[in-house]
Structure 1
Amino acid sequence: MSNLIINRRRFLMGSAAAGSGLLLSGCDQFDFLGQRDNGVRNVIEQANVLTYKAQRALIGDQTLAREYSASEIRQGQKPNGSTEPSTPEYMFLRQQNFAPYKLKVTGMVDREIEFSLGELRNMPARSQITRHDCVEGWSCIAKWTGTPLGPVLDQAGVKPGARFCVYHCFDNIQRTLSGDIFYYESSDLIDAYHPQTILAYGLNDQVLPVANGAPVRLRIERALGYKQPKYLHTIQLVDDLTPFGLGKGGYWPDNGYDWYGGI
């Protein structure tokens, strides 16, 4: 079983990197990825659903991502994507060393709650040394420290009908004439409650840097990097992803990437 998982991981990484290169190159023949009613894109999306179901069946809900020794940390965690959100709210929090920061849990919960950064740091913590795999084709081993997400959700009381967590961020990843587009992502509750899914506030035994997502970023260790949003401020429990963004469950899925992003 372990060989099957490793081989599948390598296949997905190679496929994702190749697809990403084509998207980022702007090749006209791949414009269909941005056309929501294109038949080829619809076929790919159905394949993604099959991949999601197959991985759930093969690997299991609680299987852990590989963890490494401290000696295998060879460099700092490479920042990617946005590295410095420019919204007034985020800039104010940064100037205050994130003292006023609140992480909110909303949506389909028994009680909407919020936590300061200090409260998150005072909760039982988990540290893990894992490999970050980027869809661009690079990897980096780092130590992450944070609060497991599952117990945080339990404090809010997830309602039975909830199926997904939507993760809202300060990250104004795209600026348009009509306003900023903010990064968001989502996961099912299986990944949200996975023991290695944490609200990370520490990186390599230091406070999480701004370039890597301060004050809090999500770590879903069995997923590609774009599924691990930085600058997180709200977790919303929902039963449907279509009302958000373009309805595909995340900024990059809205732009043609696989929603699941599992490895």
Structure 2
Amino acid sequence: MNIVVLVKQVPDTATERKLAPEDNTLDRAASDGVINELDEYAIEEALLLKEKHGGEVTVLTMGPDQATESIRKALSMGADKAVHVNDEALHGSDALQTAYALSQALGTLEFDIVVLGSESTDARTGLVGAALAEYLELPQLTLAGKVEVDGSSVTVQRQTDYGYDVVEAKLPAVVSVVEKINEPRYPSFKLIMQAKKKPVEKLTVSDAGIEQDKVGLANAATETVDFAPAPPRPAGTVVKDEGDGGTKAAEFLAEKKFV
């Protein structure tokens, strides 16, 4: 089975994230880059499918040079090889353009199933999986909390507000996963060393067959018109207990309509 897992490098959520004032796009140099958290679950699910059904796992990433760090992390978890789509022409691409570019890159690969996280922590649009399936003209199975492959079909338990739905489709298909699906493994020292020797293919826009007038900030369907820093948090309210602390606390909660 040929499994492709999509991985995105995003700013670390533990650090302050900023936009670049010159073009209102994400300033990726302002904070450390890490693998998008939900994509780690996608990597783990891809590895579990490989362990059960055989085959290989290919990591596909679209991003600037520093995304190489996340690629190596994915390879050290156990993926077999990687493809890195890296071209300045892609800068500023929105979710729909990203899905288009990834669909073109996938056209250079053989795959039975594409696995990705249901959203990224930097944009949180949740659009890429669905748009990717549309571009590829393949079934999409979203919000998967469990994935099972049987021959030429895939079945998932799709997470819902009331539990889950069971959804089935023929392969090849695109599957997006949620964080409850598994527990991502930690890379062993042996795998970390092996990852340094695993192949990473680099593709430009031209290599992947991506039309330049369909990607990039100037051609995006969406734009950030303006932004401002979040205001500082106001000082908290201090309640001194002079025998009536409970009453003051209750009055404060009532004022804020918590009780």
The two structures have a TM-score, normalised by structure 1, of 0.23
